[in-house]
Each structure stands twice: as structure tokens, then as C-alpha cells.
Structure 1
Amino acid sequence: MRYEVAVRAEAALGEGPTWDAGAGRLVWVDILGCRVHTYDPVTGRRTVRTTEQHVGAAKPRAGGGLVLNLRDGVGLLDDDGAFRWLHREPVPGRRANDAAVAPDGALWAGTMRYDEAPGGGTLSRLTGHGAVELVLDDVAVSNGTGWSPDGRLMYYIDSPTRRVDVFSHDGGRVTDRRPFVEIEEGAGFPDGLTVDADGCVWVALWDGAAVRRYTPDGRLEKVIELPTPRVTACAFGGPGLTDLYVTTARVGLTAPHPVAGSLLVVPDAGKGLAQPAFAG
């Protein structure tokens, strides 16, 4: 499988690709650049919106617009640019990171400290009405989150652990956390993830220059090698959900590859799952 450059960019910390089926576009962010990007692969149309804070994730909303995981909390951005906080909880030294929308439309939003101190991050579940439940309060770098096709499993990454963990998931509750796969020394750190229609888990490797596909029983089945080391997240998109989009980062690289910070795509990589919109 070979990659192409979908959007050539110099994002400091590209993250969180998400296919917005209603608008026929891919949404992704540059966390440290305070930017929300959109890209329509059919027309080539792109937009860039600047946020006032570091933005960890942007996901489509059922009623239109986007939900943003921001430094000081979670906010709602309307199509006309109007913004309001859904949940505001600023903590000095902490920022938002990756987030994902569950099958029931709730947002699972992660945080981390800027210094990546162990135990300084969290994972919370937010409903469309703004109700908040703290799920994990002892996280270093909250990252990829995704669900099995039947919604009964939730996969989760706290990057410094070098693991992808899996929980039993039922009605918005998670139990029985256990290791799913562990990334070996020298292969980078697990960052973002996505789950495909076969229930396989695709994991982006920070400082690993690759995306890996694991079968539901945790067997490494495929590796897509990429030319830049800081691979951050992946998601299926395009009209048929067959193209794998991959975000990358330039931050911390002394001699970045020309595609570092760009949005990459691997055509016909597999078959993705339709992603639910946030119910808010």
C-alpha cells in the first residue's frame, strides 16, 4: 500500500482525522497551530479555521457544526461561526488531546498536561446536553479511542504505556480494562486509532513512521510504512469509506521530511465504519 499527499501542509501537530459524512469532507486539526482543517476529496475544496485555544479534536455534530475539544474544555461551533462552551473546566498546565464520538453520540474527550506528567490527564464522557462523567483520572497522554462494530468493545490508548487497551462497553459504561496489544521498544508509541468494518484496529505510531493493522484477536496483520516519523492518527474516509487518511506532525523534528505535517491518504486501504455525529 502506497501513500499519497491529500493536503500538503506544515501542521505542527496534525491530529484527529474524521470523515464528516453529512458534508462529504474530512475534518482534522493542528493542535498546536490552533487550526481546524476541512478537505473535500471530490472537489479538492479546503477550509481552515483558527481557534483561540489549542484544539485537540473537532468532530461533526448531528445538528450541524462541530464539537471542539479545547484547552479549557469542550465547546460547540456552529456553521455560521458562532461558538459557545458546552463544558468549561480550565486546569493550569493542561490541554485537550484526542477525542472520539461513541455509537450513542456521546463525546469521549481526553486531556493531558503540557509536560506529559503521569496522572495529569483524564478521559471524560460528555452527552449532547453537557452532562460530564469522569471515566479515567490517572492518564498521561490520552489518545486514540474507538469502538468495535457491535459497540461492545472500546479500544483506548494512553501513549506512554505503549499499549492499546480494550474495555467491555455497554450503555456508555466501560469495565474490565485489559491489554489488547503492546508496541515493542523501538517501534514508536501508539497514538491515534480507528476500527474498520471487520473489527480490525488501525494504530498510528508516533516516532514509528507507520500505521499498523491488528486483527480482533490482537495479531499484527499489516504495516503501512510512511516517510515521516511522527504519525499521529488515522481514519477511513471518502464516499465509500475505503481510503485511509493519516495525520502527521512536524513538532520536535530538527530536519522534517517534506510531507511532515501534511494530511496523507492511502487509497483503497480497507473498509471503514460510518462514524456517528456528536448528539449535541
Structure 2
Amino acid sequence: MTSAKPHTIHDGGRYFEGPRWHAGRLWFVDCMERTLLSLAPSGECEQHAKFDDTPCGLGVLPDGRLIVLTMFQKRLLAFSDGKLSLYADLSDIATGTIDDMIVDGLGRAYVGDLGFDLPPPPDRGAPGRIILVMPDGARRVVADGLRFPNGIAASPQNDRLVVAEMDGACLADYDIAPDGGLKLRGRFGSMKSPDGICLDADGAVWVAAFEEDAFIRLDREGRELQRIEVPGRRALACVLGGPEHKTLFCLSAATSYEELRQRKSSSRIDAVEVEIPGAGNP
């Protein structure tokens, strides 16, 4: 097990989420500022859109359009040519706040439905679900029984989906059927409050462990392979990008659960070079 020291490439945000490497830039949202942003390799940050709801998860369609999830209106918005348009309205199928999402290589969007409205109730149990949105607009629930589904990642073969269960302190591993349906293979790993995740070419998962102030790499059996610490900061999300997809971008925030309820947070992005490149989505 090895460790590496990240370096800061962007600072001064409030709560960064949903990092995706696309078209040579790092795309992400600031949930509290309700903005869609991107970061160039030079470090230049550009704001692309402003929302009237809280944005969170991002996905990239095969045609290059970005899809941005808005949590409380329960919508997916497409961003193209500087404009936002409605891609899917999930308010009639989601039973709670929607959180993170991913679009696989076939254009299928997998969306986490918490099953309850934020802030989370103390007796929430495991009502979380995954909603599938097909490229033709068809929608259906393809998984349930999740304890706060958070980060989601899809394999490059579009046959595996991994979901971070924030309340379950583990990762749920699914086989993806040809029609997009999910079959639970099992659960693996043990970490405190897993948030955003991404896959690498070895099938390992990088996990932002919110309450461990660290980004952790796990193999498919749940063994810890590597840990990158950000002391005193909550780990929010991560993605592998850069020219060779070997740069791990680590999004974190100086905050706490209590401070989040007061909308107090300071976010930044760190980067560290790793040996195994990213694969799949994100």
C-alpha cells in the first residue's frame, strides 16, 4: 500500500462535486454556488452555466453533450453550445432527492434516488434506488434497497456498475444486462461515508471517503491498495483524467455535517499522478 502527496490546482469554491474529464478539461459543479464549471490544464477556470436548483452529478453522452443532475427539482439537464435544456424529468418516478449519476458508454444514465428528501431523516433505512434513463427517454427503476446511493461508476465494457452506499459504508457491485438492467453481484469494501467514485483500468475503485479525509483505492475484493490523505478536509469526489488518464483529481471541502447545514464550506481541487489509468465512466 503506497501513499502520494497531492498538490492543489484550484481553490476558492464552496462545495465541488461531480468531476468528469471531458474534451481535455475537468468539468464539475459547485453545489452551493449552483454553477457548472470547467478547469483547463493551464489552471484557468471557466463558468458555463448557472442553475435555479442544486446541481450535483454529471454525465457525458456519446455525442459530447453534458448532462447535469439537479437534486430537488429532480431533473436532468443537457448542456450544449452554452445552453441548458431539459433532458429528463424524474419528479414522477423518484421517491426522494436525487444525488449522483453517471452516463455509460452507450448513453444510458444511471441516477441515484435517495428514497427520502434531504436533510436525511434519522430512521431512513435502505429505501435508495437506481433509476435508469435510456437514450430514447424510457425510464425505470433497476435497483433498490440501497443505503444512501452516492457515487456511481460504469466499466468501459458497459457491463458493470458500482455504487457507493454512503450510509452502508461499502460499495455495491452490479452486473449490467444488455437491456440496461442491474443484477447485484455483491458488496465489498469498508469505509466511512463513501461519496464520489471512479474506476481504473485494473477494475479497482477510487473512493472519496468523506469521514476519513482520504481517497482510497480498493480492488474488487475490497482490499485497500492505496490511500491519499487530505487531513482536515472532507473527501467529496474524484476522477481520473489528464492526457493519459493518470491524473487523479481529488475534490474536497473544509466543512462538517453541522457546517453544511449552515451552508459553511470551502472547497478545492487537488491532483496527484497515479500508475494505473482511468477506464470507463467517469
Question: Which category describes the TM-score, using the shorter chain as reference length?
Answer: 0.7 to 0.9
1:3 alignment partner AA: P
Residue pairs, 1:51-130, within 5 angstroms: 51-71=51-71, 72=73, 73-89=75-91, 94-112=96-114, 113-117=117-121, 118=124, 119=126, 121-130=128-137
Structure 1: gaps of 5 or more residues: none
Structure 2 residue 10 is the aligned partner of structure 1 residue 7: yes
Whole-angstrom CA distance in 2 between matches of 1:150 and 1:88: 27
Task: Answer whether contact 2:200 2:276 (CA < 8 A) is retained.
Answer: yes
Partner of 1:221: 225
2:238 alignment partner AA: C
Q: 1:237 offset after TM fit, Å?
A: 0.7
Structure 2 residue 268 is the aligned partner of structure 1 residue 262: yes
Whole-angstrom CA distance in 1 between matches of 2:155 and 2:61: 21
Task: Answer whether contact 1:116 1:140 (CA < 8 A) is retained.
Answer: no
Q: 1:90 offset after TM fit, Å?
A: 6.6
More relative contact order in 1 or in 2 (CA 8 Å, sep 6+)? 1
Whole-angstrom CA distance in 2 between matches of 1:260 and 1:3: 18
Q: TM-score, normalised by structure 1?
A: 0.84
Partner of 1:165: 172
DSSP 3-state at the match of 1:37: strand
Identity over aligned residues, as a percent?
Answer: 23
Q: Would the alpha carbon gap of residues 96 and 104 (structure 1) be closer, same or farther in structure 2, given more than 3 Å must change?
A: same
Whole-angstrom CA distance in 1 between matches of 2:218 and 2:94: 37
Partner of 2:207: 203
Task: Answer whether contact 2:69 2:101 (CA < 8 A) is retained.
Answer: yes
Partner of 1:231: 235
Task: Answer whether contact 1:194 1:202 (CA < 8 A) is retained.
Answer: yes
Task: Answer whether contact 1:244 1:270 (CA < 8 A) is retained.
Answer: no
Task: Answer whether contact 2:102 2:154 (CA < 8 A) is retained.
Answer: no
DSSP 3-state at the match of 1:262: strand
Q: Would the alpha carbon gap of residues 86 and 153 (structure 1) be closer, same or farther in structure 2, given more than 3 Å must change?
A: closer
Q: Would the alpha carbon gap of residues 79 and 30 (structure 1) be closer, same or farther in structure 2, given more than 3 Å must change?
A: same
Task: Answer whether contact 1:209 1:229 (CA < 8 A) is retained.
Answer: yes
The one of 246, 249, 255 aligned to 2:253 = 249
Deviations 1:137-196 (A, max 9, x none): 44442211123444433211120011112122222121134111122xxxx311111110
DSSP 3-state at the match of 1:9: strand
Structure 2: gaps of 5 or more residues: none
